[in-house]
Every structure is written in structure tokens, then in C-alpha cells.
Amino acid sequence: MSSYRVVELMRFGGPQVLTVGARPFLPLAPGDVRVRALASAVNHSDLHVRSGDWKIRKASPFPYVPGLEVVGEAVEVGSEVTRVRVGDRVWTTMQGLGGVRAEREGGYSEFVTVNEEVLALLPPKLDPVRFAAIGLAGVTALESLRRVGDVAGKTVLVTGATGGVGAVAVDIAKAHGATVIAQTRTSTLPTAGSVDAVLDGVAGPAFPALVAALRPGGCYCAYGAAAGGDVRFDLWNLLERRVLTGYSSEDLSGEGLRAATAELLALSLPSPPTTSMPLEEASRAHALLERREVRGRIILVP
């Protein structure tokens, strides 16, 4: 086999711009690992990049292979690789894989080549689709929860609770001993002063009510703004020691990924609602996600 399949785009646009292409196998750099993809999750960020809402940070971005994460098996290692052996189950996310940085072609592919530093090892018998359904969503939820501090015995409100990150955040907060309020699009706005922490991936018009829902000394952490980042804020909230912060997975490092992976595995989280689709149906996957016709996560399986 001299080449492998990828999903690529040659221009920005709707889901239909995603097409199947091919790439030749190239020699590995000394520190690189070639990974055979077993499961690649579709993220809302992929939709923003594909449509052109989020600009790729390259003068000539096309052809572009999307995908912020991949779970797979190491099939070839460079001469200087020490962390990973052929046959190891591994995964990676962010750190220049696809996304706006696009330092490496993304996870919508049969094979992905990355530096060993950005990989985390997984148990050999772990179900790749099951773990991919947690994946980046789990890392984002875990790190966002870390920003609000110890939640044991406290009440945590999670917005977008049926989405990828939100659904996992609900389970992680419960695993850490919190009482969780799962906020969805159909939920009424929270009562003022009713929660100790808020994990928010929605923002937009609900932002003032979410901040007001915090008890004095409570903490709000944003990990996204699906309803828009232009929000209204009442400065008096700060006088009651409410803390506003955020987390971006763009800050993730290989070391951080490996630490988060170990913690996620130890929690033994239930898999969120998951829809598996063949790699070549990436266009349909984007359309379903844009129309909100699926709950939880979509996983592309080469």
C-alpha cells in the first residue's frame, strides 16, 4: 500500500466541501510516530474551521485535513522515538493536529503522523470508539472543572449538558462528588445565588443569569461560547467575590494530555451518546451536527 485515504477540503463552505482524497506514505522524521486511526471524533470546532468562521493560521491552508483528535495504534516509529513502541494503543488531540494551527494534518484520516511528545498511551484492550467519545471533550471538561476548584459537596451547573463536552462534564463533576444541575436549551434559567460553580460552553444571552446564579465566592469557567461571546456583564458581581475564568484546549501540552488521560481512565466514565460513521461520511456527520440531529458525539471510523 503506497497511499492512504483522508477527508479534505479545498475551500471553505458547507459540509459538501468535505471530500475523500489520498496521501502518499512519507518517511518518518526521527521523533515521529505513524498511527493507524481507529476512531476520530468530530468536534464543533471542525465545523467552524470548515465553514471559514475560524481562520486557519497558514498563508496557503488548502488542501486541509480536519480533525482535532485521533485514537489509534502505532504502526511505525522514528529512529529516536522512546515513549512509544509499534503496537501500542495511543491517542492525541490538539497541539497543532488539524484545528486552526494545522501544523499536522488532522484526524479525519486512515493514518496520522505526529511527534511522540504529543501522544498519550492507552490500555491495549480499550475500546477505541468508547474512549474517542470521551477524548477531547473529557480533557476540556476535566481541565475546566479544575479551574473552579474542589467541587466535592458543592453544586455545579453545567450548560450544554447534552453536547459533547457538557455531557462528559456532568459525569466528571458527579464523579468528583458534586451535585450537578444539567442545563439544556429547554431548561429555565437558574435561580440567582443557587450554585457554587458554573461550567459554560454556551454564554450568549444567558451569560448574566449564569453569573448571577453563583453564590458569593463562586466560580464561573467558560470553555466555549456556542451562543456568542458578546455578553452583558454586571460589574457588581465581582464585589461579591465571584470569579470569572476560562479554559482553552489550545493550551494543552503533551504532558498535560498524558496527565488528563490517566485521570480520565481512572474515573471509568460512562460513554456519552455516540454515533459511529465511516470516514467517508464525514460530510454527512458535519451536516447532522450542524442541524443538531445527534446527541453526544459522532465518531468517524476508518
User: Could you read off the pLDDT of 143-183 as tens digits, one per residue?
Assistant: 999 999 999 999 999 999 988 899 999 999 999 999 999 99
Share of the chain above pLDDT 90, in %: 92
State the CATH class of domain 136-249: alpha beta
Question: Nine-digit cell at 168?
Answer: 462528559
pLDDT at 160: 93
**In the chain, which segments carry CATH 3.90.180.10?**
3-133+271-301
What residues are paired with 4 via a beta bridge? 23
pLDDT at 253: 97
**In the chain, which segments carry CATH 3.40.50.720?**
136-249
pLDDT at 261: 98
Q: Confidence band (pLDDT; 50, 70, 90) for 237?
A: confident
Instruction: Collect all residues with Cβ–Cβ distance below 8 Å to 98 and sequence separation of at least 6.
Output: 46, 49, 65, 66, 67, 68, 104, 105, 106, 107, 108
Mean residue pLDDT across the chain: 96
Ranked by mean pLDDT, the top range of 71-80, 158-167, 227-236 is 71-80
User: What CATH number labels 3-133+271-301?
Assistant: 3.90.180.10
φ/ψ of 300, rounded to 5, equals -90, 130
- pLDDT tens across 101-149, in order? 999 999 999 999 999 999 999 999 999 999 999 999 999 999 999 999 9
Amino acid at 188: T
pLDDT at 164: 87
pLDDT at 163: 86
Q: Confidence band (pLDDT; 50, 70, 90) for 301?
A: very high
Q: What mean pLDDT comes out for the span 86-102?
A: 98
In this prediction the pTM is 0.94
